Amino acid sequence: MFAFLKKIFITNVSSESVKETQLYSDNEWEFLVLNEFYSAKSYEKVLKSLPSEIRFVADQLIGNKELVKPPIEVQIDISFRVPDLKKILKNNEIPISGNKDILIQRLVSNNAALQCLGSLDIYQCSDNAKHSIDRWKNERALIEENYFEKVLSLVKVRKIEEAVDLTAEFKKRYPKISDLKASVSPLGINISKEKQCNLITLILSSNPKILSGYSEIDLEQLRVSTVIWQLGWTGQWIDKAMEGFSSICRFSSERSRMLLFIHARHTETISVFSNIKGGMRFRLSSKNGCENCAALDGKCVDLSEMPEIPNPDCCSDGCAILPTPLIYDGET
């Protein structure tokens, strides 16, 4: 029984080739494709991003001797799906009927296997590597939990800048693929620290009327979990921030977090435009909203007349209402 790393590494191929080669891994078969990728720097150069939860040979998590070359049949199995195999067989004028095992055997029998693998260099981790990997994963899990608990405590006592800095420190020291994409936040926003702290402040003070069904205690827990989400802590950490939450409302906790976030962003927008001298008007758009929200569609309102968003009278799940600024007369 082999122990496998979680990511497939690819070497000597361009990013375009990577997309064309339908590599995949599942819970049973997870492989390491390794040749030049002895450090994160090499990986980043080719694929433009760092791998998740993986250290490299250069980091001494595993050694060269702990990498085992699997049989060619296994290499093909993890590298291609059935449609890809049939395409390769057809191009080599080989019959394409049968299940995946039969297709693989035909490739091997007709000496087309090495050609279809191209420059991919695939290795398995040996049994000896399992303990090293498991130990590192457990250490990583404890470190992540420790960081999270500190961040959660800081958010609860409104030490916002410290929470932002500590999260940034964790992401820098223990990067994941999701942290290194253009949009740092799971909500799809990539903003400066100052703006992020301001947004968090607004979330923690947000009290939208549409969520009036929650008690203040429950609403506070939702605010905190929304901030945790905005900082980029997802999955189990959101669940942990919501431990003990038992309130029943017409919205799910996930939807309630989004409504809190929308309300905070709307409050931020009002604040920005309130600093503009002269008259500001907005056109409201809610074409696909419920009956109450659709009634606002197309209306033009002054800033002082701006309705609360999300609409407290919404009879759905908090319809999207977009206020578009028209013209203003004056100077900022």
56 compared with 273, residue with greater pLDDT: 273
Token pair, residue 97, equals 């009927």
For residue 322 the two structure tokens come to 């977009």
Do residues 55 and 61 touch, judged by C-beta distance below 8 A? yes
Q: How far apart are CA 312 and CA 155, in angstroms?
A: 27
Q: What is the mean pLDDT of residues 204-216?
A: 94
* pLDDT score at 188: 43
Task: Look up residue 285 and give its two tokens.
Answer: 């758009």
Q: How far apart are CA 246 and CA 244, in angstroms?
A: 6
How is the chain split among helix, strand and coil, in percent rounded to 5? 50, 5, 40
pLDDT at 301: 93
Task: Flag whether pLDDT at 213 surpasses 80.
Answer: yes
Measure the CA–CA gap between 316 and 290, rounded to whole angstroms. 6
* pLDDT value for 250: 85
Nearest alpha carbon to residue 145 among 61, 53, 228, 240: 240
Q: Of residues 111 and 237, which shows the higher confidence score?
A: 237
Most confident of 5-19, 21-35, 112-126: 112-126
Going 53 to 59 to 61 to 64, the CA torsion angle's sign is: positive
Question: How much is the average pLDDT of 187-196?
Answer: 72
Residue 324 to residue 332: CA distance in whole angstroms: 18
- pTM reported for the whole predicted model: 0.66
Q: Is 73 left (phi over 0), alpha (psi -120 to 50) or beta?
A: alpha
In whole angstroms, what separates CA 138 from the centre of its chain?
22
CA neighbor of 120 nearest in space, from 23, 48, 26, 6:
23
117 three-state secondary structure: helix
Residue 81 or 27, more confident = 81
- The domain ranges of the chain are 15-125, 134-258, 277-328
Average confidence (pLDDT) over 194-220: 94
Query: Which residues sit opposite 68 in a β-bridge?
Result: 124
